[in-house]
Amino acid sequence: MPVTKVLIANRGEIACRVIRTCREMGIPTVAVYSEADRGALHVRMADEAYLIGPAASRESYLLVEKILEACRKSGADAVHPGYGFLSENAEAAAALEAAGITFIGPNIEAIEPMGSKTEARKVAMKAGCPVVPGVQESMADEALIAKAKEIGFPVMIKAAYGGGGKGMRLVHKEADLIPSIERARGEALSSFGNDTVYLEKAIVKPRHIEVQVFGDKHGNHVYLWERECSVQRRHQKVIEEAPSPHVTPEMRRAMGEAALKVAKAVNYVGAGTVEFLADQDRNFYFLEMNTRLQVEHPVTEWITGLDLVKWQILVARGEKLPLAQDQIQLNGWSIECRIYAEDPDKNFMPSPGRITYLRTPASRNVRDDSGVYQGAEVPMFYDPMISKLSTWGPTRPEAIKRMEAALGEYRIGGIRHNVDFHKALMTHEPFLKGELHTGMLDTPFWKKKGVGPRFRHAIAAALFAELEAEERRAQAPVASGGRPDAWRAWGKFNRL
């Protein structure tokens, strides 16, 4: 299939990420943008850019007809969906295919069964991959209650269609089951347009470990080791690392082979992730398969030395996988922190607005996948991610120390952010020991006792005044020397 001009049907850091690889491969790129993203970084970076609608994603980024129209206008013969939006939409992939446009994503035959978690469980079971005890099919509430009693509490109610922690409820006792089912159904319907839920046995202090898989159109499949994503808040990943501190070489091989069984069962093509829950005894169970490139793919790129977006493009062209399983290296350790425009002091509420100052870390073995710049606007309409900061080290402690240093260099002005939250995590004793589980953030250990909000605001106002004065001084000719007092003050402000 031809891939000579790529349209990226996405925005933010992933659009910028795809553009960079295409540029290295000599492939022209096309950006699409909503009215809220007119000044976005991905629009500036691409060779061409086309407006596709209002700010609301359902009227812009989620409309495949708008993407097709932009392809026709630009002459793009391939579409990279990134993640989110249309990346796991089988109908969108089919529409692009019908128009003769290469979809740089998995085959439709894999997207469809893996789009339903209950169907995916059936595929995994048939392929011989271990699954969490539970219910595969949709059931009435009474039947779910009976099944929950049979399995034993605690149980987890989950939306059959969807992800990101939406439509999920942990239930510890029978009295809470029906209210939890009703809330899960309501959230699933509003988020995914389908209120089907299913039930699984809840694993106590589970670890969320996933395996990166790749397939080509010639029947070749490989796995690129595992990532640990157990540090989560409201079922959404916060920190990822590769490899996992919980996984032994024997477990790594077993998980990789189990993941390939699932991928081969649907003749998987392209990049995908098979996700598992693991207990403290290193038993692991199939959770779901994400038929797309994952947000956290940089940590896999760090430890393998590979460009996964390049692999996606090569596979979409019909080429064979560049490496066989025994040629894939595992080198060192990588940590990734998701930097968000959000306020940790207000239950991590999004903090949209203009970034008035931005200084990102720049050091050896530090990578910042970003979709913003100083002066850019973080819109209120989309995920408030600023960047994905990742580091690499020969060992886990070295990767963590490098991350701690990199976070210390990060400066963001104009909006609230979670940099200090990540700093606290990098020194949290259970994290340092690798004692991870998906509920470890339920206790807000990162909150420090100190000055109140009014005093904080007074300090912030004084620091901003000092910064403005420093800017005025900087514009005047200076013979020599000078102390950057305002920038030291900014560092203090950034830690408030």
Higher pLDDT, 78 or 473: 78
* Predicted local distance difference test score (pLDDT) of residue 80: 98
pLDDT band at 487 (very low <50, low <70, confident <90, very high): very low
Return d(Cα 158, Cα 170) in angstroms, integer. Answer: 9
Does the structure show a pLDDT above 80 at 448? no
The yes-or-no verdict on residue 193 having pLDDT over 70 is: yes
Q: Could you tell me if residue 234 is inside a domain?
A: yes
Q: For residue 323, what is the domain's CATH number?
A: 3.30.470.20
Domain end among 177, 201, 225: 201
Across 125-134, 184-193, 208-217, 370-379, least confident range: 184-193
Strand partners, 385: 340
In a domain, 12, yes or no: yes
Mean pLDDT check: name the lowest of 76-90, 221-235, 437-451, 456-470: 456-470
Give the whole-angstrom CA distance, residue 2 versus residue 44.
25
> Is residue 492 pLDDT above 60, yes or no?
no
Q: Percent of the chain, pLDDT > 70?
A: 89
- Assign 475 a pLDDT band (cuts: 50, 70, 90): low
Domain co-membership, 191 together with 339 = no
Point out the least confidently predicted range of 154-168, 372-386, 397-411, 465-479. Answer: 465-479
Higher pLDDT, 159 or 365: 365
pTM of this structure: 0.83
Number of domains within the chain: 4
Distance (Å) of CA 6 to CA 163, 292, 294, 316: 27, 17, 19, 11
Please report the pLDDT score of residue 204 as a whole number: 83
> Higher pLDDT residue, 70 or 472?
70
Residues contacting 18, CB < 8 A, separation 6+: 6, 8, 10, 29, 80, 82, 309
Residue 168 has pLDDT above 60, yes or no: yes
Does the pLDDT of residue 275 top 60, yes or no? yes
* Residue 184, domain CATH: 3.30.1490.20
Q: Is 292 a catalytic residue?
A: yes
> Are 369 and 488 within one domain?
no
Residue from 17, 121, 252, 292 carrying the catalytic annotation: 292
Mean pLDDT, the chain, rounded, equals 89
Distances 449 to 345, 428, 446 between C-alpha atoms, Å: 12, 16, 10
* Closest-CA residue to 468 (of 413, 411, 407, 409): 413
Write the DSSP string, 79-106: EE--SSTTTT-HHHHHHHHHTT-EESS-
Statement to judge: residues 459 and 311 lie in one domain? no
Rounded to an integer, the average pLDDT of 44-67 is 97
Q: Please compute the mean of the pLDDT values over residues 437-464 and round it to a whole number.
A: 65
What was the pLDDT predicted at 201? 85
Give yes or no for residue 479 having a pLDDT over 80: no
User: With 50 as the cut, is the pLDDT of residue 496 above it?
Assistant: no
Q: Is residue 310 part of a domain?
A: yes
**Residue 50 near residue 24, CB atoms below 8 Å:** no
Residues 193, 214, single domain; the answer is no
pLDDT tens profile 15-30: 999 999 999 999 999 9
Domain termination residue (choose one: 184, 201, 218): 201
Q: Is residue 237 part of a domain?
A: yes
Token pair for 34: 């909503």
- Specify whether 188 is located in the same domain as 216: no
> Which residues share a beta bridge with 49?
31
For residue 345, tell me if it sits in a domain: yes
Does 281 share its domain with 417?
yes
Of 160-169, 282-291, 319-328, 410-419, the least confident: 160-169
Same domain membership, residue 218 and residue 86: no
Predicted pLDDT of residue 485: 42
Asked if residue 271 and residue 146 are part of one domain, the reply reads: no
Tokens representing 326 are: 């025994």
Residue 273 lies in a domain: yes
CA distance linking residue 322 with residue 254, whole number of Å: 23
Confidence of residue 462 (pLDDT cuts 50, 70, 90): low
Encode pLDDT of 82-127 as tens digits. 999 999 999 999 999 999 999 999 999 999 999 888 889 899 999 9
What is the per-residue pLDDT for 49?
98
Within this chain, do residues 250 and 338 fall inside the same structural domain, yes or no?
yes
Whether the predicted pLDDT of 1 surpasses 80 = no
Task: Report which residue type is found at 209.
Answer: I
Q: Say whether both 93 and 174 belong to one domain.
A: no
Residue 463 confidence (pLDDT) above 90: no
What percent of the chain lies above the pLDDT cut of 90? 71
The CATH code of the domain that includes 64 is 3.40.50.20
* Confidence category of residue 191, pLDDT binned at 50, 70, 90: confident
Which of 175, 201, 227 is a domain's end point?
Answer: 201
Residue 146 pLDDT exceeds 80: yes
Task: Tell me the two tokens of residue 184.
Answer: 């899960």
pLDDT at 465: 56
The predicted-structure confidence for 326-354, as pLDDT tens digits, reads as follows 999 999 999 999 999 999 888 899 999 99
Mean pLDDT computed over 477-490: 40
The answer to the question of residue 377 being in a domain is: yes
- Cβ contact 393:332 at 8 Å: yes
pLDDT at residue 476, rounded to an integer = 53
pLDDT reading at 481 higher than 50: no
Q: At 190, is the pLDDT very low, low, confident or very high (cuts 50, 70, 90)? A: confident
Sign of the Cα torsion 312, 123, 225, 208 reads positive
Predicted confidence (pLDDT) at residue 437 exceeds the cutoff of 60 = yes
Domain that holds residue 173: 133-201
Residue 321: per-residue pLDDT: 98
Residue given tokens 């839920």 in the structure block: 197
Tokens of 273: 């992730």
Asked if residue 215 has pLDDT above 60, the reply is yes
329 and 220, same domain (yes or no): yes
For residues 11 and 160, membership in a common domain is answered with no
Whole-number pLDDT of residue 198: 84
pLDDT tens-place string over residues 280-296: 999 999 999 999 999 99
> Would you say residue 438 lies in a domain?
no
